[in-house]
């Protein structure tokens, strides 16, 4: 999870960074971007800056996808499961001799094409002492090649009536363009050019490092609650690289040499670690010929030997107390959960919707509507390629403590562990999933996002046509089972945040606790 901006890509939550077209030195923007992400949850008073949907370019609670799709299903009674499926997406997939994977889907609704290059490298591929490199390359890839001057890539796209952007997650770095159909050939040349011809000078490296440092200050260091999720991850993970943010450590970037940065590029930004996605108004045979023309001659990199440490099972609750310059107390609980695409991921995603999808959700009703102890309360699963965390969190109203919020939250979670979800409530959650899948076919870009995520993170592009069935087959018993399995104290890391000089919580801080902001 990355630089702290919301990678607009669906219900898979990651911390991600997103580059805005048209910006000059400070490229990244705080939230959104045209890429579709499975959900956008605004976490009150700055916590939102930290949680991002960054890996899964698909369905979203509260996202514009959900809003548009709501027009389709708004009149459906929650007790009924809608009999609607997204249209079948014909997919063509092939691999060039140099290892580049290509996934294409024709769509002739409009004369535009979305092109995406997914590099299978994110912050989890970084080693201790060398963090922030993947996010840094989100910037560097726009800074010129042996054939193009800095920003010339984006200038070409804009001059031809297109738009481009990029984002980084824990699992992937994605560069995309949506252009008129007539610009496909040139766009493919541009992407092939920066895949192997990037110019990384000492001057460019230092300039972009300063951009990242400023981004860090804006999104983390100078935001209320800005480092809370960072602290949570550092305590919840002991060995897996998900323990560091996608934006990385400024100390690591300061120590990095341009030679180390070039070595990272030569290792990961190669055809055999990339997937090219094209969706839109093109002829399949012609597009395939263009891909071969521009990419086939690129040399493959050395075989990648990924050695990602496996996080050991947590066996005892971890507690961290922070005192910060904030107005209201807050807490966030992180429960370890399995990777995206695994059987338990689907009931967990539905549980998240039941818990905090809209004003009628269980957490909202309990903490905000009935008890009125929280300004905001949410739950969300940060679904990624490797096992990650499921969050529940709240910002408390004046006069209420984190302990009060935790007690009420625990009551809500316990109900899902012991009582089957009523049919109507489960169908309502499934209907949300259905409309998100349908809405993900709104544009070539959202289709490309979904194909890219399924191809790279879930390893199966055909899921674009089949994954919905996995959600619809979830039973109340499966939701009970995953709640009992993962939502236990020994599997939780708790961070409590108090305004500076607030009274002590009365709770003993454990050996991994901290009394100051990190």
Residue spans per domain, the chain? 318-499
Read off the pLDDT of residues 174-233 as tens digits, 9 standing for 90 and up. Answer: 999 999 999 999 999 999 999 999 999 999 999 999 999 999 888 888 888 989 999 999
Segment 232-249 mean pLDDT = 96
Segment 152-172 mean pLDDT = 97
Q: Is 508 exposed, middle or buried (0-12, 13-18, 19+ CB in 10 A)?
A: exposed
Q: How far apart are CA 369 and CA 234, in angstroms?
A: 33
pLDDT confidence bin for 461, thresholds 50/70/90? very high
The pLDDT assigned to 207 comes to 94
Q: Residue 15: is its pLDDT beyond 80?
A: no
pLDDT confidence bin for 32, thresholds 50/70/90? very low
Q: How far apart are CA 142 and CA 23, in angstroms?
A: 11
Residue 334 CB partners (closer than 8 Å, separation 6+): 232, 233, 236, 389, 390, 391, 492, 493, 494, 495
What are the phi and psi torsion angles at 173 (to 5°)? -120, 125
Residue 483 CB partners (closer than 8 Å, separation 6+): 351, 413, 416, 417
Q: Residue 275: is its pLDDT beyond 90?
A: yes
The pLDDT assigned to 292 comes to 98
DSSP bridge partners of 92: 104
Output 393 or 68, whichever has higher pLDDT. Answer: 393
DSSP bridge partners of 498: 323
Output 84 or 65, whichever has higher pLDDT. Answer: 84
Q: Residue 76: is its pLDDT beyond 80?
A: no
Q: Residue 70: is its pLDDT beyond 70?
A: no
For residues 383 and 54, is the Cβ–Cβ distance under 8 A?
Answer: no
For residues 416 and 47, is the Cβ–Cβ distance under 8 A?
Answer: no
Strand 388-396 to 274-280 pairing: unpaired
Q: Residue 304: is its pLDDT beyond 50?
A: yes
Nearest Cα neighbor of 53 from 64, 65, 40 is 40
Q: How far apart are CA 427 and CA 221, in angstroms?
A: 42
Output 34 or 477, whichever has higher pLDDT. Answer: 477
Classified as helix, coil or strand, 220 is helix
pTM, 2 dp? 0.85
CA dihedral (20, 24, 27, 32) in degrees, to 10, reads -20
- Average pLDDT of the chain? 85
Sign, CA dihedral 262-268-271-276, equals negative
Asked if CATH classification 3.30.830.10 holds for the domain at 318-499, the reply, yes or no, is: yes
Indicate the range of 10-19, 207-216, 475-484, 506-515 predicted with least confidence.
10-19
Output 5 or 51, whichever has higher pLDDT. Answer: 51
The pLDDT assigned to 59 comes to 41
Output 39 or 305, whichever has higher pLDDT. Answer: 305
Segment 478-497 mean pLDDT = 98
Read off the pLDDT of residues 288-297 as tens digits, 9 standing for 90 and up. Answer: 999 999 999 9
The pLDDT assigned to 507 comes to 55
What are the phi and psi torsion angles at 72 (to 5°)? -80, -35
């Amino acid at each position: 999870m990355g630089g702290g901006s919301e990678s607009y890509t669906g219900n898979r939550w990651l911390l991600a960074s997103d580059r805005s077209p048209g910006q000059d030195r400070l490229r990244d923007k705080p939230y959104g971007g045209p890429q579709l992400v499975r959900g956008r949850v605004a976490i009150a008073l700055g916590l939102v800056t930290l949680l991002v949907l960054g890996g899964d370019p698909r369905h979203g609670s509260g996202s514009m996808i959900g809003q548009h799709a709501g027009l389709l299903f708004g009149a459906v009674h929650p007790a009924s499961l809608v009999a609607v499926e997204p249209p079948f997406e014909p997919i063509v997939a092939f691999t060039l001799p140099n290892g580049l994977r290509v996934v294409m889907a024709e769509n002739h609704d409009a004369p535009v094409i979305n092109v995406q290059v997914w590099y299978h490298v994110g912050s989890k591929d970084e080693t201790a002492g060398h963090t922030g490199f993947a996010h840094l390359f989100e910037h560097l890839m726009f800074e010129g090649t042996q054939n193009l001057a800095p920003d010339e890539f984006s200038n070409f796209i804009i001059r031809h009536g297109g738009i481009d952007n990029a984002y980084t997650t824990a699992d992937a770095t994605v560069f995309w363009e949506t252009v008129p159909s007539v610009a496909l050939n040139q766009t493919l040349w541009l992407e092939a050019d920066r895949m192997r011809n990037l110019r990384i000078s000492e001057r460019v490296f230092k300039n972009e490092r300063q951009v990242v440092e400023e981004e860090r200050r804006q999104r983390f260091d100078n935001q209320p609650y800005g480092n809370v999720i960072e602290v949570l991850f550092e305590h919840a993970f002991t060995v897996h690289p998900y323990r560091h943010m996608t934006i990385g450590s400024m100390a690591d970037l300061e120590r990095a040499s341009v030679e180390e940065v070039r070595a990272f590029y030569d290792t990961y930004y190669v055809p055999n670690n990339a997937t090219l996605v094209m969706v839109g108004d093109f002829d399949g045979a012609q597009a395939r010929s263009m891909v071969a023309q521009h990419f086939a001659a690129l040399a493959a990199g050395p075989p990648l030997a990924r050695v990602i440490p496996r996080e050991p099972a947590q066996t005892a609750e971890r507690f961290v107390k922070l005192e910060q310059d904030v107005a209201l107390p807050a807490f966030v609980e992180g429960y370890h959960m399995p990777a995206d695409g695994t059987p338990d991921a689907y009931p967990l995603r539905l549980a998240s919707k039941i818990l905090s999808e809209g004003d009628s959700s269980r957490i909202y009703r309990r903490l905000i509507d009935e008890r009125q102890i929280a300004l905001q309360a949410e739950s969300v699963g940060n679904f990624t390629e490797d096992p990650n965390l499921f969050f529940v969190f709240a910002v408390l109203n004046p006069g209420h403590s984190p302990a009060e919020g935790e007690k009420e939250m625990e009551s809500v979670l316990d109900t899902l562990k012991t009582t089957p979800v009523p049919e109507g409530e489960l169908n309502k959650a499934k209907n949300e999933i259905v409309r998100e899948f349908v809405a993900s076919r709104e544009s070539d870009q959202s289709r490309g996002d979904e194909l890219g995520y399924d191809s790279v993170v879930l390893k199966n592009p055909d899921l674009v046509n089949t994954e919905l069935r996995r959600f619809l087959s979830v039973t109340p018993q499966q939701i009970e089972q995953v709640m009992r399995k993962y939502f236990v104290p020994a599997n939780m890391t708790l961070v409590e945040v108090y305004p500076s000089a607030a009274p002590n919580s009365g709770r003993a801080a454990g050996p991994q606790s901290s009394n100051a902001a990190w």
